[in-house]
Amino acid sequence: MEELVASGGTVGGGTSRSTDPAGPAGRAGSAGSPGSTATAVSTGTAEMLAAAGNGDRLSLARLLTMVERGGDGAREVAAAAYRTPARARTIGITGSPGAGKSTLVDKLVSLARSSGSDQVAVIAVDPTSPYSGGAILGDRVRMQGHAGDGGVFIRSMATRGHLGGLSAAVPEAMRLLEACHMDPVIVETVGVGQVEIEVASAAGTVVVVVNPGWGDSIQANKAGILEIADILVVNKADRPGAKEAVRDLEQMLDMAQERTGWRPPVLQTVASTGEGVDALWDEMRRHDGLSAEGGELSGRRRSGYERSLTLAFEALLRRSVAEAERSPLYLELLDEMEAGRMDPYEAAGRLFAASGDSRL
């Protein structure tokens, strides 16, 4: 189900069954056609990007669908978005399921709007439906208070089983939203798996949300938490065990190597009532300012570009492999291996040499 709304806060369901000018394309990152170097942006895509930058939510939703579908359509969008200057604040909200992330994001969006942000974007990375392959839209249910706000854009995107909960399309979706003058851009992850480091590579400020009584899990995951967290939040702090959770986190920070000029603060919030959210917003703005002054923000942006380049390159390689598997030589080499006359490395070398792939 793809929900497209010309105005209002919630636009786009982000599922694989939506209809879109991109046409059918399998998810292959933003590779586009193999072997090409520069990507020509069609008039239609350029017009949609211009319209999206001027507040057309329908065009923005269609562009995001192209990004999710991958292939040539995603490459076109990337070619246009990456050439558009963008310096938005990007915020990653991550943590275990049930920590109250969506409610916290809902309150942060309200604060951003009341603080003067004209256009706020939220990407809610939801679990994947086993039937449609699309997002299960759970997070959007908790943000319906912004549905009538034309200055808020909320998009659900499916994880599609991607390790760490951050779908491969999210960094490109963030870049597109920046190019369309959204600021801030907030990404909330589904919080599944141990590889939430993906969030840090895509966001300028990373907020890790935990609950009281999460001490055992903290000990098991503390290395990863301390690596990615710029701010630590004990949400649902009105429950027993909140002070103990704060104490455990502070002790972990004491034992960790301090990053240049910034020690992640440990805050307490009750997202359902808004308690402590103002302090969280202030710390996020302070971190953003210090990161910009100290060059850390620039370094994170470069890391994000590095990740995007690697993903695009891997997509090209996957497409090359898919093409090679359909060639007659591939079947001949399999026969040689089966007969015991060739090992897989020699066969792969011959297949690679025969491909004449100029991209490598």
- Spatial contact of 90 and 178, defined as CB atoms under 8 Å apart: yes
Q: How far is CA 176 from CA 76, 240, 264, 273, in A?
A: 11, 42, 29, 33
- The pLDDT, as a whole number, for residue 13 is 40
Q: pLDDT category, 30, cuts 50, 70, 90? A: very low
Q: pLDDT category, 223, cuts 50, 70, 90? A: low
Q: Which helix (H) or strand (E) holds 185?
A: strand 185-188
Rounded Cα–Cα distance for residues 120 and 44 (Å): 25
Least confident of 10-19, 77-86, 168-177, 204-213: 10-19
**What is the pTM assigned to this prediction?**
0.76
User: How many CA atoms does the CB half-sphere of 141 hold within 13 Å?
Assistant: 6
- The pLDDT, as a whole number, for residue 104 is 94
Name 152's bridge partners.
Answer: 120
Q: What is the pLDDT of residues 301-327, one digit of tens each?
A: 777 778 778 877 887 888 888 888 888
Cis peptide before 240 (omega within 30 of 0): no
Tokens 């292959």, residue? 28
Query: Per the structure block, which two tokens stand in for 217?
Result: 């899990």
3-state DSSP assignment of residue 231: strand
Rounded Cα–Cα distance for residues 174 and 177 (Å): 5
Taking only Cα atoms into account, the Rg of the chain, rounded to an integer number of angstroms, comes to 22
The closest of 88, 124, 82 to 103, measured between CA atoms, is: 124
Rounded Cα–Cα distance for residues 315 and 323 (Å): 12
Q: pLDDT category, 34, cuts 50, 70, 90? A: very low
Q: What is the pLDDT of residues 199-222, one digit of tens each?
A: 666 788 999 998 997 655 555 455
